[in-house]
Structure formats: C-alpha cells, structure tokens
Amino acid sequence: MRKSLYKMIKLRKQEQFNAVIAEIKVHSPKHGDLLRGRSVLDILRTYEKCDVAGISYITEKKHFRGSFETFREICRNTDLPVLRKDFVTSVDEVERTAETEGSALLLIARILGDRTAELVDSCHDHGVEALVEVHSPYDADIALETSARLIGINNRDISRLELDDGGVEVTERIAPLLKTPALKVSESGISTLDHLTRALRHADAVLVGTAFMLADDMERRVREFVGGGGHA
C-alpha cells in the first residue's frame, strides 16, 4: 500500500523528531560518484534505521545518473514513502510513478509554469502526492494556485544543476511568501546542524542528500539530523 509522505512528515513532528526526507543520491554534477561502491539497498537500510520521514531518489539519467528501475526497486523494498525526483513534464510520467507505487512526485514550478496545477491534479487523481518545488517569488505564486499539500523550496537553482552556491537563506526568503496550509520542505544546501535549525524555523521538513552521501559515518550523521525530543 502506498504510504503518505504528508502524513509521515506530520507524524515525525508529532513524535518530536525532525522530519527528514533522506535522499539516495548516486551522482552529483558537483561531487561526481556518491555511491562510492555502496549499494542503493544498503543505503536504504541505513536510512530506515534512523527514523527518517521518507526516501527520495532522482530518476534523471543524464546529469544525476538515475534509473527508473532503481526507483522501482526502492519502492518494492521499503515501507517508507518514496519521492521520485525528475524533470517531469507529462501526465505519462505521473502514471508511470503511480504504477511503481511511488508515494510522491516532484513537480518543478519553474519548468511547468501554468501547467503546474494540471499536473498536481493528475497526481492526486492517480493517488500520488505532488511536491511542488519553488525557488523564487514567481514560482511561489504558481504553487499557491495549485491544490498541492506539499511545497518544496529548493535552496539551489535547479536550472544550474546544483552547481550554484544557494543555501538556507533561500528558504528564509521564500517560506514567508507561502501563506498556505501546505507543508513546506526545505531542499538542498543543508549540510550542517546550523543549516538544519535555520531551515526548520521556516519549514516543516528538510530534504537532504549530498550531506548524508558524503558523510564518513552515514548512520551517525542521519541520526544527528533526525534528532529526537525536539528540533535540533
């Protein structure tokens, strides 16, 4: 049965954990190979042990070396909600995500423009949660015109493939513009506990990938971020 990322974020917060969506990121245009000989399923098991709110995986092939088959494998092998990240532009990709039992799908407002609301509705029609991603005030206006219950604030400029130096200040600037009951997720550029604290002052959850994938002790690092007994 498909798990709800929205509900899991709320549950983790109720349990006094930081709501962390942990990304299995195999490659970065900036850092190169992030698996470093590890298997996707081994990383998944580490995340599962750490009380994360959900799993994220990038299926885009050219720049992030993702694989839709790997996404399918992750969905089959976890009880946690799984978010699919990609440059989605069609209903076909919504349907494809739903067929794998993917829980949520990233929709980038900058790419979709006035089609964002249509794709959000399509996600909901197929039982998939939409995470509408914004990076600017213009994107925020688009997201507010949709029925999305999850809005992600990307601290980096996706059009620059995460090669820019964007940080948590983007969340601090954009989150106050999102006057909506939708849950807010601060994405990317969160590599320290200070970043985490700042992000969670404005967002309900964070999405972290590179900082975990580069950690010498991944489990310890994830547990530090998830915390317990209150925000970090």
137-155: per-residue pLDDT in tens?
999 999 999 999 999 999 9
The CA distance from 218 to 214, in Å, is 8
pLDDT at 224: 96
Q: Is residue 56 part of a domain?
A: yes
| Cβ pair 176, 202 in contact under 8 A | yes
Phi and psi at residue 166, in whole multiples of 5°? -60, 145
CA geometry: angle at 9 spanning 171 and 193, to 5°? 50
Amino acid of residue 47: Y
Question: Does residue 22 lie in a domain region?
Answer: yes
Residue 163's pLDDT is 52
Q: CATH code at 59?
A: 3.20.20.70
Give pLDDT, residue 156.
85
Low-confidence ranges of the chain (pLDDT < 70): 1, 158-166, 228-232
Tell me, yes or no, whether 232 lies in a domain.
no
Task: Say how many CA atoms lie within 13 Å of 174 toward its Cβ.
Answer: 30
Would 184 be classed as within a structural domain?
Answer: yes
What pLDDT score does 160 carry? 55
Q: What does the pLDDT read at residue 232? A: 40
Number of domains in the chain: 1
Prediction pTM value: 0.93
Residue 215: inside a domain: yes
Widest distance between CA atoms in the chain: 43
pLDDT in tens, 25-65: 998 777 788 888 899 999 999 999 999 999 999 999 888 88
Question: Which among 221, 219, 220 is positioned nearest to 190, based on CA atoms?
Answer: 221
Phi, psi of 132 (to 5 degrees): -85, 120
Q: Is 144 within a domain?
A: yes
Residue reference for tokens 């992000």: 199
Determine the structural domain holding residue 221 and report its residue range. 5-226
Q: Give the residue ranges of DSSP H helices in the chain.
A: 5-14, 40-48, 68-76, 91-99, 109-112, 116-125, 137-144, 169-174, 193-200, 210-213, 218-226
pLDDT at 228: 58
User: Is 231 domain-assigned?
Assistant: no
- Dihedral angle, C-alpha 145, 160, 156, 17, nearest 10 °: 90
* In a domain? residue 47: yes
